[in-house]
Structure 1
Amino acid sequence: MREHGGSAPMESTQFPRGGGRDTREVEQMVMDEEQADLRQLESKRTKLFVLIGSGILQLPIWGFAMSYGVFQEYYFDNWIFEGNRNITGVIGTTANGVMYLSMPFLFALFTRRWAHRRQLAALCGTVIACVSFFLSSYSTTVWHLLATQGVTSALGCALIYSPITLSLGEWYSTSNRTLAYGIVLSCKNIVGTSCPFLLRALIDTYGYQTTLKAWTAIVGGLSIFAIFLIPTHPSKVSMSRTRARRIPWYFLRHRTIYFYSIAIIFQSSGYGIPQTYLSTYAREIASLSQTSSTLMLVLFNAPGIIASSFFGWLSDNKRITLSAQTVSAIPPVCCALATFIFWGLTTQGAIGLLLVFSMTFGFFSSGYSATWGGMLKQMESESAERNEAVDPGMLYGLLNGVRGIGYASGGIAGVGLLNTGTILANQRFAFGTSYGPLILFTGLSSLLGGWVVLWRWNPKRLLPVVLRGS
């Protein structure tokens, strides 16, 4: 009886302890699951903030460069500067060229070693851009305009763009990265659609000097707000505590990077021509009003809102399986057709055909950058097949760099071509005007941008697919 009485309390005390351990384990599992859900929720929220911040930054980064045609038209109509008036035609393309040419170096700098300094670098870029735009409002010579609006402000904007774009690609490193790029590029085209009217209204009301000072405030305020919405990815922050690995350059051994680079150079050399000269063509040759000429620039950028997301979706789409080179060949070839048919055959006062050109060329040229995500995936896949490391951020920076070569060369060529004369005796169509060489250059460079990619196309690869389908 004593043994039985002694054993009962032991059993009763052991059971609660064992049950307590089970309860604590269950509670710990629940807490772990809650923390995992919280981390996932925080990750989704952070990615959303990164996307929103990247979209907002498109205004201070690209707003001036995409709307420069408004300023050029004002400079021509109200010339008060010392120097050659034709140099103003280079400012817009120079700004784009400087931004893109500096990106490979900035991407290389902030992709690994200085990744933890990205927000600081973007803030420094904001200061440089603001100081440049503010000083340009006091310009008295055309060379000062070129230095401030075409060079230093572009360097500041590139210093904002490069680290922020790297962070966007890292937060969206899965299969939806191309779509994220497309959404941000759509925001860029929203900027290109709204800014010309905004800047035109400010210039007409307050003059270009006050407009540039107001633009300085816009750039500073929006940039600072949006930069703090985009934190550096934790995987890159940890690199600052350890020795960062060197950037892998194995992709330079592959032909793909060179084919795409040549295609981008050709496409971008023609892309900047309508963006710079379309509004002045509408005024001088087509005899359209100032409002109509500004509308040309707006309609040039507006279709890109849809095009960027569409081509980004097309590159990521699993149902419509098109190769990266096929998708990237569609925009430049269609741009060439639009240039030859719609712009080249425009007659004086024919606003309808010019509007069609603006929307068609704007749609396909704006969507071209969204195809780069597919190019990156193809080059990543080729590196994986060879068991080689690759840095997508560095690849994206190089593609932007070669685009800068195209912008700069197209801008320089545009000034010379505008003074060449006519290429047809009949001046009824646009081909026969002083803008004829520019139109021919735009169409041919766009066509070569698509042809270079198709040149790499191998019909033998398509034959087995056709045979299986039949």
Structure 2
Amino acid sequence: MRETEMRDIEELSLPELRTSASGGRDAFTDEQRAEIVDQPDLRQLESRRTKLCVLIGSGILQLPIWGFAMSYGVFQEYYFDNWTLEGDRNTTGVIGTTANGVMYLSMPLLFALFTRHWAHRRQVAAFCGIVIACVSFFLSAYSTTVWHLVVTQGITSALGCALIYSPTTLSLGEWYTTSNRALAYGIVLSCKNIVGTSCPFMLRALIDAYGYKTTLKAWTAILGGTSILAIFLVPTHPSKLSIHRTRSRKIPWYFLKHRSIYFYSLAIIFQSSGYGIPQTYLSTYARDIVLLSQTSGTLMLALFNAPGIIASAFFGWLSDNKRIRLSAQAVAAIPPVCSALATFLFWGLTTQGGIGLLILFSITFGFFSSGYSATWGGMLKQMESESAERNEAVDPGMLYGLLNGVRGIGYASGGIASVGLLNAGTISVSQRFGYGTSYGPLILFTGLSSLLGGWVVLWRWNPKRLLPLVSGS
């Protein structure tokens, strides 16, 4: 009986607790309920807006970070035609590949620093990078010897750009999860290729209209303005802002025990050593061998970068696609093998005045080689799954930085080799084709290194891992 009475008292008292002093029964509860329902939606909307801003900011940053390196062929052509500095002008061929190499080689260290220890200092580091890059390009306008150019345009400016790139790219990877990270990388890489397509024309127009020194000063202003705007759009992920205060600051290195990291690293080194050569020498080849004008040479460089706008998004989509389930190995092997075929069949067989094959080479090689970086999202996903199977911790940001670092090894080695190959003489084949010119050794090197980049991945041939409809690990 007492239990029944107590239950009745509780049932009577509960409504009274939900009644406001003014008699507005359930009014506060309804507002609370609406707020509870709306809060997840508001948080989700805010997260979407932030992720969109991160994607936009990362896209804008491709201009100051990669604009000069991807358009260096324009400056290379100018140096050859208007040489006024002390030193061997052939040395300028190293600047473009050195800039790329230094940027990529510094990334493992920078990614390691900003992944955990200095994650809360990412935006400060990016602003320091802006200052270093701007000062370097401004000083390069007053260079008097070739080594001044190598230092300012090839080394210090690249270090500044790497300081901008590393912390912001880490934040991009953290705002986008494994389910859509490869696509996000692909979209940003597409923006990079938009930069590579438009910048050669812009820089060529500036050089023709205002001269070399004014162009470098204008580029300094462009770099500073766009970088400052974009960095504010890429905030550090909340999960990383206080990690420097915790004990879990050590980077997990368990992935070094897995074979995948070594196969992919070797493949990236081979692919990258050949990728930078057409970017540097395509304009001068178009002028010296195919006998095209300066404008046509710049057009070749733009055609080289333009297909990457589609390719990067495509290969990023292919890596994340759930309908066409190709393994990471299969996707990673497609670009270098196709790039090798384009080099051997199109670039090597060009003739004087034969603009058709050179255009075909620029488009096909540009499409597949530019889209290669977008396959890294699939590589990361595979290595993350391997770690999950072994119940091991893994930091995808650190992995991405390491892949960029080995790409720098490829760029640097390809740049150093290109100077010697260009002076090696011709190959004893028909002088009508590209193989028989002074660029013949460069063509063979580009094709073979690209082929090796695909062969290293295919060397682990396993039909269950490579065939469609089977996801590889």
The TM-score, its normalising length taken from structure 2, stands at 0.94
- In structure 2, the residue corresponding to 1:70 is in which secondary structure? helix
- In structure 1, the residue corresponding to 2:322 is in which secondary structure? coil
1:264 is the counterpart of 2:282: no
1:158 is matched by which residue type in structure 2?
Answer: A
User: Is contact 1:90–1:415 with CA below 8 Å preserved after alignment?
Assistant: yes
Separation in structure 2 between the aligned mates of residue 151 and residue 15 of structure 1, nearest angstrom: 73
Structure-to-structure mapping, 1:146-185, within 5 angstroms: 146-185=150-189
Structure-to-structure mapping, 1:442-457, within 5 angstroms: 442-457=446-461
The percent of aligned pairs where both chains have the same amino acid is 83
Aligned to 1:294: 298
- In structure 2, the residue corresponding to 1:420 is in which secondary structure? coil
1:63 is the counterpart of 2:79: no
Per-residue CA shift, 1:215-240, capped at 9, x if unaligned?
Answer: 00000000011001111000000213
User: Is contact 1:121–1:160 with CA below 8 Å preserved after alignment?
Assistant: yes
Per-residue CA shift, 1:73-100, capped at 9, x if unaligned?
Answer: 0000000000011100000000000000
Q: 1:14 to 1:358 in 2, by over 3 A?
A: closer
How far has the Cα of 1:349 moved from its partner? Answer: 0.5
Per-residue CA shift, 1:399-440, capped at 9, x if unaligned?
Answer: 000000000000000000000011124200000000000000
Aligned to 1:231: 235
User: Is contact 1:296–1:355 with CA below 8 Å preserved after alignment?
Assistant: yes
User: Is contact 2:116–2:249 with CA below 8 Å preserved after alignment?
Assistant: yes
Per-residue CA shift, 1:318-354, capped at 9, x if unaligned?
Answer: 0001000000000000000000000000010000110
Aligned to 1:199: 203
Aligned to 1:328: 332
Per-residue CA shift, 1:33-61, capped at 9, x if unaligned?
Answer: 22222111111110010000000000000
Separation in structure 2 between the aligned mates of residue 18 and residue 353 of structure 1, nearest angstrom: 80
User: Is contact 2:271–2:453 with CA below 8 Å preserved after alignment?
Assistant: yes
The TM-score, its normalising length taken from structure 1, stands at 0.94
User: Is contact 2:429–2:435 with CA below 8 Å preserved after alignment?
Assistant: no
Separation in structure 2 between the aligned mates of residue 62 and residue 53 of structure 1, nearest angstrom: 14
Q: 1:19 to 1:463 in 2, by over 3 A?
A: same
Aligned to 1:416: 420
Q: 1:25 to 1:194 in 2, by over 3 A?
A: same
Aligned to 2:3: none
Aligned to 2:7: none
Separation in structure 2 between the aligned mates of residue 422 and residue 392 of structure 1, nearest angstrom: 45
- In structure 1, the residue corresponding to 2:379 is in which secondary structure? helix
Separation in structure 2 between the aligned mates of residue 313 and residue 465 of structure 1, nearest angstrom: 15
Aligned to 2:462: 458
- In structure 2, the residue corresponding to 1:424 is in which secondary structure? coil
2:346 is matched by which residue type in structure 1?
Answer: F
Deviates more, 1:442-451 or 1:452-461: 452-461
How many residues of Structure 1 are paired with residues of Structure 2 in the alignment?
456
Q: 1:435 to 1:19 in 2, by over 3 A?
A: same
Structure-to-structure mapping, 1:243-392, within 5 angstroms: 243-392=247-396
Per-residue CA shift, 1:271-306, capped at 9, x if unaligned?
Answer: 001000010000011111111100000000000000
Aligned to 2:87: 83
Structure-to-structure mapping, 1:41-56, within 5 angstroms: 41-56=45-60
How far has the Cα of 1:25 moved from its partner? Answer: 3.1
Mark the runs of 5 or more structure 2 residues left unpaired by the alignment: 1-10
How far has the Cα of 1:31 moved from its partner? Answer: 1.1
2:296 is matched by which residue type in structure 1?
Answer: S
User: Is contact 1:113–1:244 with CA below 8 Å preserved after alignment?
Assistant: no
Mark the runs of 5 or more structure 1 residues left unpaired by the alignment: 1-10
Q: 1:461 to 1:242 in 2, by over 3 A?
A: closer
1:84 is matched by which residue type in structure 2?
Answer: D
Q: 1:374 to 1:174 in 2, by over 3 A?
A: closer
Q: 1:462 to 1:180 in 2, by over 3 A?
A: closer
1:178 is matched by which residue type in structure 2?
Answer: A
How far has the Cα of 1:23 moved from its partner? Answer: 4.0
Per-residue CA shift, 1:164-195, capped at 9, x if unaligned?
Answer: 00000000024011100000000000000000
Aligned to 1:4: none
1:189 is the counterpart of 2:193: yes
2:139 is matched by which residue type in structure 1?
Answer: L
1:127 is the counterpart of 2:131: yes
Which of 389, 397, 402 is the matching residue for 1:398?
A: 402
